[in-house]
Chain A
Amino acid sequence: MAEPTAERMTAPMATRTEETLARAVEVSRRYGDVLALDGLSLDIRSGELVGLLGPNGAGKSTLINLFVGLRRPSSGRVELLGGSPADPARRRGIGVTPQETGLPANLRVREVVDFVAAHYPSGVERGALLERFGLSGLERRQIGGLSGGQKRRLAVALAFVGSPRLVFLDEPTTGLDVEARRSLWEAIRHFHAEGGTVVLTSHYLEEVEALAERVVVIGQGRILADGTTAEVRDIAGVRRVTLTCDDLPGLPELPGVLSTERDGARTHLLTTDADTLVRSLVRADVPFSDLEIRPTSLEEAFITITARESRAA
């Protein structure tokens, strides 16, 4: 694990006005016998773009539901914009995306946007909003007649209707094709660039990697890692060792290998200790060529952290 230098510790403090917009303090949430959140604490500061990462059932959605006032914690405290999420006045400062495709099929695009806008003291202009999300010209269409991607983009657009300071996007791009996903990312970045704060969960690690500045890995209701994208990658310490070799010794003989993947002539080995692995490859006189060692993707880091955690549990 890389030791954070003093410089790294102080840099964010100096460049940001650290106002906490949302805070969970020692929060637990129980559904019957299931403990979805287990004494979790998290601060969301203004201007951040936070990615919540974790396997299904890790507690990400439960955490978001607590922040947006849909659920109350079994124990602990949740604050939103200096008050309780249960207070509608606090929720004027946030925007939320409905999950999946649950928009009322009989209403028109324009009507749903106006319905949501009626809840906020001020809002963005409808035409501009729809344009930013690639929905221009669809105002009069009934939602039931939109394509899956259009519905999804409309659902995400609704989070921004009330000019919020903070948006919660739970799986914002599920079911979108690559192009639609990228244009949505663009809209989210635009909001963030103008000073907005974003909390998003995603199944697509690529998405968190592309968007988030801060990554919070959640597993079994607790925070497993919290840092910048690069830091989380470092915490996992996983390296990808790629080589060309016809006859690789069996897995048990290679130390610290997490997974092996063959791609034509190339073999990818994921390891927590690239140095030892390479040394033992050399010692065993393995006839490899074109050796390459690279830092892993966030996805690989994430799998390692959560796997390590469940082994410990």
Chain B
Amino acid sequence: MAVIDLANPTLFLRLVNRVLPWLTAATVLVFAYGLYRVAGSPDDYQQGATVKIMYLHVPAAWLGMMGWGLMTVAAFGTLVWRHPLADVAGRAAAPIGAAFTLICLITGSLWGRPTWGTYWVWDARLTSVLVLFLLYLGMLALYWTAEDPNRGSRAAAILALVGAVNIPIIKFSVDWWNTLHQPASILRMGGSAIAPSILWPLLIMAVAFTLLFFTLHLAAMRNEILRRRVRSMRMMQAQEQAQDYVEARA
């Protein structure tokens, strides 16, 4: 099935309905196996059991970034190929990406409390994730303000592209800002290679979270298509009622 065939929302919905149960089952299974492996993974010799937050934190960070990547691809789909489902995909990805970024921030701050002794530091990495979250919020605010979904989606697509250009610049400048003010960073991740006993559960959890992302994304796309149908049906209904009213008066 080519991508262009999916432009037909009915065909797409049929495909989603067929795929979604399998995807959900795969998500649950991989999560179960991942959590089993996480439970069996050793504690860190320094951080103790708190290191287990990582299995939630790191995949959430990856998927938070992937969400914007998906929105960028969807933005190209909207603006260049005018694919009718691209803006549905972009719109569905925004809240999910924002949620994963928020999970990353919250778990990170809960992890920071026992390990660094503070919920928040203005470390470069934390700050750039926070800015990513702010950009997501701006995107969501744009979707909420737009009355007409079509008009909103094109504007949002351009904003997604602007954000995609800006995110690396922001990341770079925040790194600069931090190293200028705070040469000895508190946070030193990836300084040493992660032991395989921790790395494998992490990778399995990352796969589980990615499956979860796509399950949620497909479900959200389905909801968005249905929501738009409901909207146009309501408008047609209102139009018919107005017409009946005019005819009754005449």
Partners in one complex: no
Mark A residues whose CB is within 8 Å of B: none
Mark B residues whose CB is within 8 Å of A: none
